[in-house]
Chains A and B, each alone.
Chain A
Amino acid sequence: MESEQIDLLINEVIKRLETEGLISSQMQKNSARSTESNPGDKSKDPNQSFNINSGMGLQTISIDLDDPTKPVHRGKPLVDNSQDPEALLALMSTTTARIGVGRAGVRPKTESLLLFQSDFAVSQDALYKEVSQDLLKRMGLFTVNTLITEGKTEYLLRPDLGRSLSQEAKSILESKCIKNPNIQICVGDGLSASAIEANLEKIFPVLQSGCQIAGLSMGTSFFIQNCRVGVMNDIGDIIEPEVLILLIGERPGLGRADSMSAYMAYRPQKGHSDADREVICNIFDNGGTNPLEAGAYAIRLAQDMIKNKGSGVKMKMA
């Protein structure tokens, strides 16, 4: 038999086995190889991660991709035939907004569409996390609760309950906290435990030393679980600080769950609304207001509030 004919015959046999699902040994060998390999292996060219081995009519496939959420991939310009590719990179470097993404017709490119969907997935998964007990212990914060008793779903649907301290919390604060300090600092999980975990250890020492330097007395700090901003009024009624600073996790952004806000009010009390408060938002490292600066700014703002005996839009309008 000619070798050509032999090849043809072999191909025919393999094809038939394939259609009957009888050649599994080859497939298993390949999939095992792909899980064993180290993802994102430096020795590999990332562009070569899509291998097609064709021979004897048999195709096997191995997809082994690097993490597309790494900055090196996120920052990649995708505009086709940009007039000025260097300037495009410079524009992209000025913002965390998703620009320079190019287009597939009037729709986004596949790469940026799927990155968006990945970021969304991670934000959703992070929503139900709790602040680590270890962190609270390290920072010396005790925990009190709001009127939420049934966990995060109730917290999401009942903001009114998250704005009020539980009876137990009120009596704990009565017995444990210094009254009438210049500055009272509280920490609340809000909508992102990750934000507190990412920023608290950085901002807290700045607030403490800022108070010392400014000669302001500091109250007894604590943590509020299932907390909304409105809880500041309840705290104000019990502790009666001059200025209350509430560090609270913001609603997670897309692929970003580490953004924190500092809400501040002069003599917070029952009946106060957002118009009585000031806020420093977007506190996070690498792109936001960094927590060290935010801490220093908060102390300066507190000094202004004490000097002006007021806070919020109401004060500006007066």
Chain B
Amino acid sequence: MLLRTILFGKTYEFPDIRILMGKANEEKSGDRLAGLSADTLAERAAAKIVLANLPLWVLRDNPAAPYEVDEVTRVIQDSVNESIFSEIKGWTVGELREFLLNDQVGCDQILRISDGLTSEMISAVTKIMSNMDLVYAASKIRVIRHCENTIGMEGTLSSRLQPNHPTDSPEGIRASIYEGLSYGVGDSVIGINPADDSYGSVSRLLDMTYEIIKNHAIPTQNCVLAHVTTQMRCLQSGSPVGLVFQSICGSQKGNESFGISVGLLDEAYELAKKYCYPSGPNYMYFETGQGSALSANAHHGWDQLTLEARNYGLAKRYHPFQVNTVVGFIGPEYLYNTEQIHRAGLEDHFMGKLTGISMGCDVCYTNHAKTDQNSSENLAMLLTAAGCNFFMGVPMADDSMLSYQSTSFHDIAALRSIFRLKPAPEFEQWMESYGILKNGQLTNKAGDPTIFLGRQK
């Protein structure tokens, strides 16, 4: 294998695909931590030039982890539509980029090609796309999914209501839910990250959220983001579960560090189809994020963008209602500052869409990263322009349990307003029936959580 170019008279040669993929990445502290970054900007530019000339079949032949040892690789490779792959296997990565950007190519054509791609190809094309390329290409792709309501339609923006509480107090969580609903937040899911992962606590929160949904006839789904094994136990014992959640990783070894496997996820998916209360057919919810495989030393020497692409390849197996990258959560050792978080957010969203999954983003940061709330607001606006399916709604963006900052109830309302977007159609109707929304505008009732007290539908 010869992978070489001359740039400004200097020769750059890359020993293999793994090294080439690492060096072609935009700057990320995580790739530097893993020893995969380009040494100079010119070397990065050279790597991109070589990568752009690489035929797609080479990437299929060089997965991040060998087929024999890694079940995530097997899931991705086995799901490839061979007819479509054989049509495009001779394309270079650069040609794939131009296909995606071609103004004669629309959503259906892209989603068809998507079935012939592996995650390594998706990662490769992402590396040679600029930020606006990523926004533009993603904005063409709509992935629509249905559970109790519909997510991803053109002209809509959904939101997860994230009413976390430091000690899982049902009253405290309920109060945040009322506040969020009054801003029109909660159409993608009412989803709680529990502080206590035990069965008793998780089933109590499922019952409580389900009761709110039923009492107020809200067309949405609930979820408690405990470990999937706890949720499976809840499903089997008759708890009302809307979506089944799990954090996933891009390699088998990474998933083992999360205490999961493809077999376990298969089992959870079967239980979800059998026992979840909404009409479906999409019941799964996954969270991902660049750097998680590296942090578990499960990256097989590959860059974090490729491992992230493989998350989406795995997620696709379960036809999820929604997937989101938690883009700034992992910390500065993987995404150091605003530029890196922004780049990763745009990359992840695009890769998810190109994989054909319903993609959202937890636009967020921790207090030890070099960024701030203004930067988060910027990224949320960029991703809305890119057609992101949903964001998080957290009271004033400040999560009182997870100690990080996300996007706020106000942000959801503002993004809808700035970009002339609506909530999910079923949810929009419900908001109107509750007098929170009139002619697409929030009413005087919006923002007052007490409108849900003592009132039942």
Instruction: Assess the B450–A191 pair: CB atoms within 8 A.
Output: no
CB distance from A130 to the nearest CB of B (A): 15
Which of A242-272 touch B at CB < 8 Å? 250-254, 256, 259
Instruction: Assess the B333–A97 pair: CB atoms within 8 A.
Output: no
Q: Is A32 in contact with chain B by the CB < 8 A criterion? A: no
Instruction: Assess the B166–A96 pair: CB atoms within 8 A.
Output: yes
Encode B382-394 as 1/0 by CB contact (under 8 A) with A. Answer: 0000000000001
Q: Give the complex CA separation of A84 and B264 in angstroms.
A: 47
Which of B49-66 touch A at CB < 8 Å? none
Instruction: Assess the A127–B372 pair: CB atoms within 8 A.
Output: no
A76 partner residues in chain B, CB cutoff 8 A:
none
Which of A186-227 touch B at CB < 8 Å? 191
Instruction: Assess the B442–A106 pair: CB atoms within 8 A.
Output: yes
CB < 8 Å neighbour of A253 from B367, B414, B445: B367
Instruction: Assess the B332–A156 pair: CB atoms within 8 A.
Output: yes
Instruction: Assess the B366–A98 pair: CB atoms within 8 A.
Output: no
Instruction: Assess the B195–A254 pair: CB atoms within 8 A.
Output: no
Instruction: Assess the A117–B395 pair: CB atoms within 8 A.
Output: no
CB distance from A196 to the nearest CB of B (A): 15
| Interface range, B side | 35 or more
Q: Is A5 in contact with chain B by the CB < 8 A criterion? A: no
CB < 8 Å neighbour of A157 from B179, B227, B296, B333: B333
Instruction: Assess the B175–A120 pair: CB atoms within 8 A.
Output: no
Encode A76-99 as 1/0 by CB contact (under 8 A) with B. Answer: 000111111101100110111111
Which of A43-100 touch B at CB < 8 Å? 79-85, 87-88, 91-92, 94-100
A82 partner residues in chain B, CB cutoff 8 A:
448, 450
Instruction: Assess the A275–B258 pair: CB atoms within 8 A.
Output: yes
Q: Give the complex CA separation of A290 and B369 in angstroms.
A: 28
Instruction: Assess the A156–B450 pair: CB atoms within 8 A.
Output: no
Q: Is B404 in contact with chain A by the CB < 8 A criterion? A: yes
Q: Give the complex CA separation of A268 and B29 in angstroms.
A: 29
Instruction: Assess the A97–B172 pair: CB atoms within 8 A.
Output: yes
- Nearest chain-B residue to A284 (Cβ)? B166
User: Which of B118-126, B131-139, B405-413 faces chain A?
Assistant: B405-413
B269 partner residues in chain A, CB cutoff 8 A:
none
Instruction: Assess the A156–B175 pair: CB atoms within 8 A.
Output: no
CB < 8 Å neighbour of A156 from B169, B331, B395, B408: B331
Instruction: Assess the B259–A99 pair: CB atoms within 8 A.
Output: no
Q: Give the complex CA separation of A313 and B247 in angstroms.
A: 14
B442 partner residues in chain A, CB cutoff 8 A:
106
Instruction: Assess the A98–B173 pair: CB atoms within 8 A.
Output: no
Residue from the set A95, A112, A282 with the largest chain B CB neighbour count within 10 Å: A95
A18 partner residues in chain B, CB cutoff 8 A:
none
Q: Give the complex CA separation of A100 and B174 in angstroms.
A: 13
CB < 8 Å neighbour of B445 from A83, A160, A251: A83
Instruction: Assess the B295–A159 pair: CB atoms within 8 A.
Output: yes
Q: Is B42 in contact with chain A by the CB < 8 A criterion? A: no
B451 partner residues in chain A, CB cutoff 8 A:
83
Instruction: Assess the B33–A160 pair: CB atoms within 8 A.
Output: yes
B416 partner residues in chain A, CB cutoff 8 A:
106
User: With A94-B172, A98-B396 in contact, is A79–B166 under 8 Å at CB?
Assistant: no
Q: Is A101 in contact with chain B by the CB < 8 A criterion? A: yes
Q: Give the complex CA separation of A81 and B445 in angstroms.
A: 9
User: With A94-B169, A251-B368, A252-B368 in contact, is A275–B259 under 8 Å at CB?
Assistant: yes
Q: Is A287 in contact with chain B by the CB < 8 A criterion? A: yes
Instruction: Assess the B368–A127 pair: CB atoms within 8 A.
Output: yes
Instruction: Assess the B448–A92 pair: CB atoms within 8 A.
Output: no
> A-contacting residues of B (Cβ < 8 Å)?
29, 33, 163-167, 169, 171-176, 178-179, 183, 195, 227, 229, 256-259, 264, 295-296, 331-333, 336, 366-368, 372-373, 394-401, 403-405, 408, 410, 413-414, 416-417, 442, 444-451, 453
5 smallest beta-carbon distances between A and B, as pairs:
A313-B259, A95-B172, A253-B403, A98-B396, A91-B175
> B-contacting residues of A (Cβ < 8 Å)?
79-85, 87-88, 91-92, 94-103, 106-108, 112, 116-117, 119-120, 123-124, 127, 156-160, 191, 250-254, 256, 259, 273-275, 281-282, 287-289, 312-314, 316-317
